[in-house]
Structure 1
Amino acid sequence: MSQTRNTRKSHGMVTAQDVAKEAGVSLTTVSRSFSEAGLVSKQTRDRVLSVANQLGYSPNIAARVLASRRSRLIGLMVNNFDDPENLNLFRYVSAEAQKRNFHAILFNTSPDRQEAGLDSMESAMLHQVDGLLVSATRLEPAIIARCASQDKRIVIVGRKSRRPEFSSVYCDNEDGAAQVADDFFAKGVQRPAFVGGSPTASVSLERRDGFVKRIEELYGFQPIVREAGSNDYAKGFATAKALLDLPKPPDAYFCSSDLLAIGVTDAISEADSVKTGERPLVVGFGRTMLSRLKAYDLASVALPMEEMVRTATSHLIDTLGDARTGPTKIVFPCELMSPEARK
């Protein structure tokens, strides 16, 4: 390697033209090796990347964005960093995006600050994301307007979209909840109860409505319904404590999430230390890591989260810049899993 190349490398002056000349390929091939790998053979791409590494070349992302108006970045917006499943959510998005030669970035719209959502939107625009996956329970109107003005595609993941212009990928919450009601009835439950999260979260409301409707069909009366206020362990614990103090407490609890169900389970365990009697049933939703812990042995409604998230990511990427593609709804089935059926 020449002294000129070494000097360029040490001062960060290596260009795509240098890589093309050294690798014996065109400038277009160099560009595609970094941005559109599917259009270049593996052998050629490996050679280009090897030469680029030797020369110390890195593509100018900012210049690429200005030239193509595409950053090949997608954003994931969540609003509950206390939920450990959000880590898996981002992992699935990142993995699927990288398969398509895109990258993902995470934005927090947690309500601990009044302007958090708007701050995240400003950050998303600053990073020039091409589109957004939204797992947050609510999108501020200002965010929606900003995305529309800049032609940013939005796909809602994990719940139905309340706006007709957005695609959404979600599971059949009502059917999953109805399966829990059927299971309670088959096991002879007499006083079923539902513990939900936020009273405005569509996912929690769908699970509540599906459960209540099926209980009414099977029993001829409504179950006990309590809204914890949010998808939070402490809120689930406190809600269960109040229900356990009733003259005739529930003998089965269906919770709109596994996190709530764990709080309910711990409240029951604490009560069991001073009371005797048959232990109530507890069922969660999501079949998350928490539900699979041996310490809890929790039944849960399973949903294909990885498949849902990967599908949403691919759908977002497929529709970027394609005005002909209208919004769509992709629905996945749920299945109640007993503790003994878990793997």
Structure 2
Amino acid sequence: MVTINDVAKAAQVSTATVSRVVNNGPKVGAKTRQRVLDVMEQLGYRPNANARALASQRSTTLGVVIPELTDPFFASLANGVEVVARNNGMQLLLSTGLQSAETERQAIQLLIEQRCEALVVHSKKLDDATLLEFASQVPGLILIDRYIPAIKNRCIWLDNMEGGRIAARYLLSLQHTQIACINSLHEIDDPRLRQEGFEQILSESGHPLSDQLTVRNEPTLKGGELAAQQLLARDTPFSCVFAYNDAMAIGAISVFEDNGFKVPGDISVVGFDDVLISRYSRPKLTTLHYPIQEMAESAATLALQFNGSESTESTKCKYIPTLVKRESVSPEQA
């Protein structure tokens, strides 16, 4: 492996001069600079990113913590951060929290140890106090899909409760009154807030959500299948379902169809997130659009602003989901 000493020897200069060239420092003549650059190219020398960061006092990495790699939702989040990193000539460092408080803590600590001074963190398991402690250590730490009032200007979040309200208003507008809810069993804010908003509108309309028509399971395709089987087994009539996310909605649709129910003819289904698969399911899924990539890009940009790498400007912090009407919902049959 070619070292800075090799470059200095071949170019007949000191290692300090090579370092100045690498970091665009002053006090290097044009001819000397070009000679060093030519030697670097000939030898295939690649400067160490950490060494450059130490010399320039500027981190060259942008970190992101997500729960897992396989979920398309979190892949979109990571992609949004990567776009900003690439546009700013930085490298992306990614770590996963694996839906565990201790693993989330370790993931954040690892990125800090790697000198990531700009961090986008998706954390649902760590408590507010722990995240506030990390935020005090790293000015460029931004939370996504999490709201903590004490650092509200460093939080990019979705109004999940309003998303539930939007879904309820839409189904009621189509004359649905026998309404079921398939929710995630994870003890985090998102499922609780979505259902609270949904129930609020139903109660105000005089059609409160029945406990018999509320089921919880894993927020996956399989979880949606199991939840739909639970609903059908309870033998309580329902004409539509609001699902926690698109995966659960699509899993539920497969069970309804397998049991002789047409979607949306017999049962209408609304999802949440608007991940790619929702556009290609059959029927195409009506859902609430969660602008996760846009939010991730905003969070990454904000992380750089708080880290002093960019001038601070106003950033949108709260996002509202929008209804995407496709083919899985129809008016209640008279």
Same fold (TM over 0.5): yes
Alignment partner for residue 121 of structure 1, among 103, 108, 124? 108
- Are residues 239 and 58 of structure 1, via their aligned partners in 2, closer, same or farther at CA, if it must alter by over 3 Å? same
Please give the per-residue CA displacement for 1:309-336, whole angstroms capped at 9, x wherever unaligned: 11111011111159x9899871123211
Matched residue, 2:29: none
Shift in Å, 1:149? 6.2
Alignment partner for residue 260 of structure 2, among 252, 272, 284? 272
CA contact (8 A) 1:168 1:328 kept: no
Matched residue, 1:202: 189
Gaps of 5+ in 1: 1-8, 34-46
Matched residue, 1:161: 147
Q: Distance in 1 between matches of 2:131 and 2:214?
A: 32
Matched residue, 2:118: 131
Alignment partner for residue 66 of structure 2, among 58, 78, 92? 78
Please give the per-residue CA displacement for 1:4-34, whole angstroms capped at 9, x wherever unaligned: xxxxx86674558989x9xxx997574259x
- Are residues 17 and 308 of structure 1, via their aligned partners in 2, closer, same or farther at CA, if it must alter by over 3 Å? farther
CA contact (8 A) 2:101 2:125 kept: no
CA contact (8 A) 1:237 1:260 kept: yes
Q: Distance in 2 between matches of 1:330 and 1:295?
A: 34
Q: Distance in 2 between matches of 1:65 and 1:108?
A: 24
Matched, 1:212 2:204: no
Matched, 1:311 2:298: yes
Alignment partner for residue 183 of structure 1, among 148, 153, 170? 170
- Are residues 90 and 120 of structure 1, via their aligned partners in 2, closer, same or farther at CA, if it must alter by over 3 Å? same
Alignment partner for residue 45 of structure 2, among 48, 57, 61? 57
Q: Distance in 2 between matches of 1:215 and 1:137?
A: 28
Matched, 1:238 2:215: no
- Are residues 143 and 278 of structure 1, via their aligned partners in 2, closer, same or farther at CA, if it must alter by over 3 Å? same
- Are residues 135 and 319 of structure 1, via their aligned partners in 2, closer, same or farther at CA, if it must alter by over 3 Å? same
Residue identity (%): 23
Please give the per-residue CA displacement for 1:23-54, whole angstroms capped at 9, x wherever unaligned: xx997574259xxxxxxxxxxxxx99887444
Comparing 164-173 with 84-93, greater Cα deviation is found at 164-173
Q: Distance in 2 between matches of 1:105 and 1:72?
A: 10
Matched, 1:297 2:284: yes
**Structure 2 matches for 1:218-229, cutoff 5 A?**
218-224=205-211, 226=214, 228-229=216-217
Q: Distance in 2 between matches of 1:277 and 1:55?
A: 65
Matched residue, 1:262: 250
TM-score by length of 1: 0.77
- Are residues 220 and 295 of structure 1, via their aligned partners in 2, closer, same or farther at CA, if it must alter by over 3 Å? closer
CA contact (8 A) 1:243 1:249 kept: no
CA contact (8 A) 2:161 2:197 kept: yes
Q: Distance in 2 between matches of 1:12 and 1:220?
A: 73
TM-score by length of 2: 0.78
SS of 1:97's equivalent in the other structure is: helix
Q: Distance in 2 between matches of 1:16 and 1:241?
A: 71
Comparing 255-264 with 124-133, greater Cα deviation is found at 124-133
CA contact (8 A) 1:236 1:260 kept: yes
Q: Distance in 2 between matches of 1:84 and 1:173?
A: 19
CA contact (8 A) 1:298 1:339 kept: yes
Matched residue, 1:333: 320
- Are residues 308 and 78 of structure 1, via their aligned partners in 2, closer, same or farther at CA, if it must alter by over 3 Å? same
SS of 1:123's equivalent in the other structure is: helix
Shift in Å, 1:185? 1.2
SS of 2:147's equivalent in the other structure is: coil
**In the comparison of the two structures, how many residue pairs are matched?**
315
Cα-Cα RMSD: 3.8
